[in-house]
């Protein structure tokens, strides 16, 4: 790729100052055992920025932490934007570091979608536009803390979304998939449903029964798959799926995954 070096979108917690455990707020719920305000360190965060209950997150009531993925934003903000200065040793950085983290995370999410679109044969007609968008978003992530704080991620997202939609339509052309964009399918009975090439962008599939469903080449961007039952489902070629979405769902050894995804550790092996 021309221009700046491609970003590593895999989280590297060892190079991060625990930003997801401090910067983000969370409410007491089935996902988090306690309330926490944005900017307040989690009670389980150790002095060395590691999680004190990492091996027992689900058992201790923090399953939400096991599905969160900063997509490499944490180490970028810690090591590049702030040059390795941490919010404990240099408290003057804290406010801006916590403000900038969700901005970079949003940009990295877009980079993940764009680079995924670039891997598809069907998107060759718009490959140059996709590459240009990757370069533009990548450059934004490398801005100064002040520039990042001013960055309008929603505007960048709107611009990139139009391109991603075209990529999706090219990839799903000829499949005549159902259109469930933004649909409320919470708890829906979709066992063995034919959803090949379906538009499930932003659909609410929380706790949906998708056992044995055919989701090949379905567009799953932003779909809420929390507790969706994917046992026996075929997600091969699924578009814009993220590891975090997969981690939030239920599945097993019979769930067929797109290339490059790992089977969540909490899924039964056999
Ligand atoms: S429980 Fe652990 S992983 Fe979750 S926010 Fe707290 S320190 Fe971070």
- pLDDT digits 0-9 by tens, 186-237: 999 999 999 999 999 999 999 999 999 999 999 999 999 999 999 999 999 9
Mean pLDDT for the stretch of residues 122-148: 97
Nearest to 9 by CA among 244, 265, 249: 244
The full length of the chain comes to 270
Domain ranges in the chain? Answer: 13-171, 177-261
Is residue 2 over pLDDT 60? Answer: no
% of residues, the chain, pLDDT over 70 = 97
Q: What's this model's pTM, rounded to 2 decimal places?
A: 0.91
Q: What pLDDT does 249 receive?
A: 96
Query: What CATH number belongs to 177-261?
Result: 2.160.20.80
Mean pLDDT for the stretch of residues 128-138: 98
Q: What is the DSSP string of the chain?
A: --SSPPPP-S--GGGS-SGGGTTS-B-SSSS-SS-B-TTSPPTTB-TTS-BTTGGGTTTTT-HHHHH---TTHHHHIIIIISTT--TTTSGGGHHHHHHHHHHHHHHHHHHHHHHHHHT-GGGGGGHHHHHHHHHHHHHHHTS-HHHHHH--HHHHHHHHHHHHHHHHHHHHTTS---B-TT-B-TT-B-TT-B-TT-B-TT-B-TT-B-TT-B-TT-B-TT-B-TT-B-TT-B-TT-BT--HHHHHHSB--TT-B--TTPPPPTTS---
Is residue 51 over pLDDT 80? Answer: yes
Closest CA to ligand 1's atom 2: 51
> Structure tokens of 9?
């979108």
Is residue 125 over pLDDT 60? Answer: yes
Closest ligand 1 atom, residue 42 Cα: 6
CA of 122 to the centre of ligand 1 (A): 40
% of residues, the chain, pLDDT over 90 = 91
Q: What pLDDT does 6 receive?
A: 55
Is residue 165 over pLDDT 50? Answer: yes
Q: How many CB atoms lie within 10 A of CB 235?
A: 27
Nearest to 55 by CA among 266, 268, 270, 269: 266
CA of 114 to the centre of ligand 1 (A): 29
Least-confidence region, from 21-25, 88-92, 144-148, 259-263: 259-263
CA 218 to chain centroid, in Å, comes to 17
CA of 112 to the centre of ligand 1 (A): 24
Residue 119 class from Cβ within 10 Å (0-12 exposed, 13-18 middle, 19+ buried)? exposed
Q: What pLDDT does 4 receive?
A: 41
Closest ligand 1 atom, residue 18 Cα: 8
CA of 152 to the centre of ligand 1 (A): 28
- pLDDT digits 0-9 by tens, 84-105: 999 999 999 999 999 999 999 9
- pLDDT digits 0-9 by tens, 4-13: 445 788 899 9
User: Partners of 26 in the beta sheet?
Assistant: 36
């Amino acid at each position: 790729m021309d221009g700046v070096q491609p970003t590593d979108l895999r989280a590297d917690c060892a190079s991060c100052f625990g930003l997801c455990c401090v910067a983000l707020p969370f409410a007491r719920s089935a996902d988090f055992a306690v309330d926490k305000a944005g900017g307040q360190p989690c009670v389980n965060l150790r002095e060395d920025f590691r999680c004190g209950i990492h091996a027992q997150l689900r058992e201790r009531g923090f399953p939400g932490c096991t599905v969160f993925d900063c997509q490499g934003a944490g180490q970028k903000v810690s090591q590049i934007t702030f040059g390795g200065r941490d919010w404990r040793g240099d408290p003057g950085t804290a406010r801006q570091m916590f403000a900038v983290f969700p901005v970079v995370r949003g940009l990295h999410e877009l980079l993940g979608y764009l680079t995924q679109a670039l891997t598809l044969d069907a998107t060759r007609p718009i490959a140059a536009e996709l590459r240009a968008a990757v370069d533009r978003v990548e450059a934004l992530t490398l801005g100064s803390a002040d520039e990042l704080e001013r960055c309008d991620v929603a505007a960048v997202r709107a611009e990139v979304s139009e391109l991603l939609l075209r990529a999706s339509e090219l990839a799903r052309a000829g499949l005549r998939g159902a259109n469930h964009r933004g649909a409320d399918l919470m708890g829906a009975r979709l066992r063995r449903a034919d959803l090949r090439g379906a538009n499930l962008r932003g659909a609410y599939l929380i706790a949906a029964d998708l056992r044995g469903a055919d989701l090949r080449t379905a567009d799953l961007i932003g779909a809420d798959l929390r507790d969706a039952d994917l046992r026996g489902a075929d997600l091969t070629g699924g578009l814009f799926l993220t590891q975090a979405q997969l981690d939030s769902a239920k599945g097993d050894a019979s769930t067929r995954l797109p290339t490059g995804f790992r089977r969540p550790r909490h899924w039964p092996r056999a």
